[in-house]
Chains A and B, each alone.
Chain A
Amino acid sequence: AQSVTQLDSQVPVFEEAPVELRCNYSSSVSVYLFWYVQYPNQGLQLLLKYLSGSTLVKGINGFEAEFNKSQTSFHLRKPSVHISDTAEYFCAVSDLAAGAQKLVFGQGTRLTINP
């Protein structure tokens, strides 16, 4: 079964600094990859997804992620963060070999932006 590992449970950064949130998944077979953001008391919102093609995916709010098949990674990056980026970030994978399009999520990374 698929599993997703987010290597950092918490990441504190200063405002306007760059950030990288790390994500690794368990298998290199065909998968789709997603990053979701969860603001306090809100549902998960899609930031970006990788389906195929270019390994660099651009999403909303200035985020991007790079799919690396050999390292089974899908790290999320932003060159300059804002206070409003404070939230919980979840990496997820959809296994194309599975019957249903269910998502398998990592444990989440809490991003805290300090002024």
Chain B
Amino acid sequence: GAGVSQSPRYKVAKRGQDVALRCDPISGHVSLFWYQQALGQGPEFLTYFQNEAQLDKSGLPSDRFFAERPEGSVSTLKIQRTQQEDSAVYLCASSLDRGHQETQYFGPGTRLLVL
């Protein structure tokens, strides 16, 4: 079946621009995660949704970052007034249910470059 998809795959933004990154999780998956992966680093947690509820946003680096999942399926990560340090790959993952044992399935990521 279809996996997690993300769009766009690549995004170049000028500093100060707003960007929106989209994630389509696997159909029926309850949990959705966003991670940020800087060059040469492992992914770092940003935020977590269970259905439409954002239960953990402790990893969002600043109030310029905002995520939503209004209908419990597609999610959007928005970054306002982008800065150069926002350049990274943004990964989305989904899992069938809540629970630490659940496997997270990752999308290919959106590579954001802020000039």
Which A residues have a C-beta under 8 Å from some C-beta of B? 4, 6, 32, 36, 41-46, 49, 51, 90, 92, 94-96, 99-108
- Other A-B contacts than A32-B100, A46-B105, A99-B56, 14 sampled, CB-CB below 8 A, are A43-B4, A43-B105, A43-B106, A45-B106, A49-B103, A100-B56, A101-B99, A101-B104, A103-B33, A103-B45, A103-B104, A105-B44, A107-B40, A108-B40
When distances are taken between beta carbons in the complex, the residues of chain B under 8 Å from A51 are 101
- For window 50-101 of B, CB contacts with A under 8 Å fall at 55-56, 59, 91, 93, 95, 98-101
User: Of B33, B40, B59, B109, which contacts A43 at CB under 8 A?
Assistant: B109
Which of chain B's residues have a CB closer than 8 A to the CB of A96?
100
Decide if the interface of chain B is mainly helix, strand, loop or mixed: loop
Complex contact B45–A44 (CB within 8 A): no
* CA A14 to CA B85, docked complex, whole Å: 37
Interface size class, chain B: 20 to 34
Q: Given contacts A43-B91, A99-B55, is CB(A108)–CB(B41) below 8 Å?
A: yes
A96 to B98, CA, bound (A): 12
Q: Which residues of B contact A107 (CB under 8 A)?
A: 40-42
| Chain B residues close to A by CB (< 8 Å) | 3-4, 31, 33, 35, 40-45, 48, 55-56, 59, 91, 93, 95, 98-109
A94 to B95, CA, bound (A): 14
With a CB–CB cut-off of 8 A, which chain A residues contact B109? 43
Which chain A residues lie closer than 8 Å to B91 at the CB level?
43-44
Whole-angstrom distance between the alpha carbons of A90 and B104 in the complex? 13
Determine if B43 and A44 form an interchain contact, defined as CB atoms under 8 angstroms apart. Answer: yes
